[in-house]
């Protein structure tokens, strides 16, 4: 399979606990290459636009507040089958259901404060990458 790219966020609950390096180690051990990365502090409006697809969900307000509480690390990960591979490395959205060894099993605190976000398809990855990065910032 050809190289694929996916979008990832290391969320506030993880940056607050200084877990960026530990999470990046999991990505790299799985064969994912970090081809772009930056630490930013989103406003609630910026988080709201990113999570627009969830605007009608009951947890939307809480989600936007959480994602703008502290800095996040936004990233582009590259590898074979990167979208699916990253989802494997992250584990289930709810840490209580995540497999042993996954990022969420080891680090997540709750379904809301679940340490990482990863794109659910290659199509959404392209949209999410374009929201945070200019093409010149992606260095494969
Ligand atoms: P993420 O992959 O970033 O995509 C949407 C996020 O919404 C999800 O991870 C969770 O952090 C959050 N989320 C999903 N379900 C709930 C819930 N029931 N309560 C609070 N947050 C949720």
Q: From first to last of the 140 residues of the chain, give the pLDDT tens digit.
A: 689 999 999 999 999 999 999 999 999 999 999 999 999 999 999 999 999 999 999 999 999 999 999 999 999 999 999 999 999 999 999 999 999 999 999 999 999 999 999 999 999 999 999 999 999 999 98
Q: If we measure between CA atoms, which residue out of 18, 7, 2 comes closest to residue 86?
A: 7
Cβ(11) – ligand 1 distance below 6 Å? no
Cβ(117) – ligand 1 distance below 6 Å? yes
Asked whether the beta carbons of 30 and 77 are under 8 A apart, the reply is: no
* Mutational test site, ligand 1, from 114, 118, 119, max ligand atoms within 8 Å of CB: 114
Q: How far apart are CA 74 and CA 77, in angstroms?
A: 10
Q: If we measure between CA atoms, which residue out of 31, 30, 23 comes closest to residue 72?
A: 23
* Predicted local distance difference test score (pLDDT) of residue 1: 65
Q: Measure 54 CA to ligand 1 centroid, in angstroms.
A: 9
Structure tokens at 79: 């590898």
Q: Where does 86-130 show beta strands of DSSP type E?
A: 116-118
Sheet bearing 72-80, strands edge to edge = 33-40, 72-80, 3-10, 116-118
For the question of residue 117 being annotated catalytic, the response is yes
* Mutational test site, ligand 1, from 111, 117, 125, max ligand atoms within 8 Å of CB: 111
Q: Choosing from 48, 50, 117, 119, which is the catalytic residue?
A: 117
């Amino acid at each position: 399979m050809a190289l694929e790219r996916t979008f990832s966020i290391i969320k506030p609950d993880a940056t607050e606990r200084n877990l960026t390096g530990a999470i990046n180690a999991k990505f790299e051990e799985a064969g994912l290459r970090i081809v772009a990365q930056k630490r930013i502090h989103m406003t609630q409006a910026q988080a709201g636009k990113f999570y627009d697809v969830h605007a009608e969900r009951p947890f939307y307000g809480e989600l936007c507040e959480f994602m703008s509480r502290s800095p996040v690390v936004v990233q582009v990960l590259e590898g074979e089958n990167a979208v699916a591979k990253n989802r494997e490395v992250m584990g289930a959205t709810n840490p209580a259901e995540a497999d042993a060894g996954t990022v969420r099993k080891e680090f997540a605190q709750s379904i809301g404060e679940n340490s990482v976000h990863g794109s659910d398809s290659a199509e959404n990855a392209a949209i999410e990458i374009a929201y945070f990065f200019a093409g010149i910032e992606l260095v494969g």
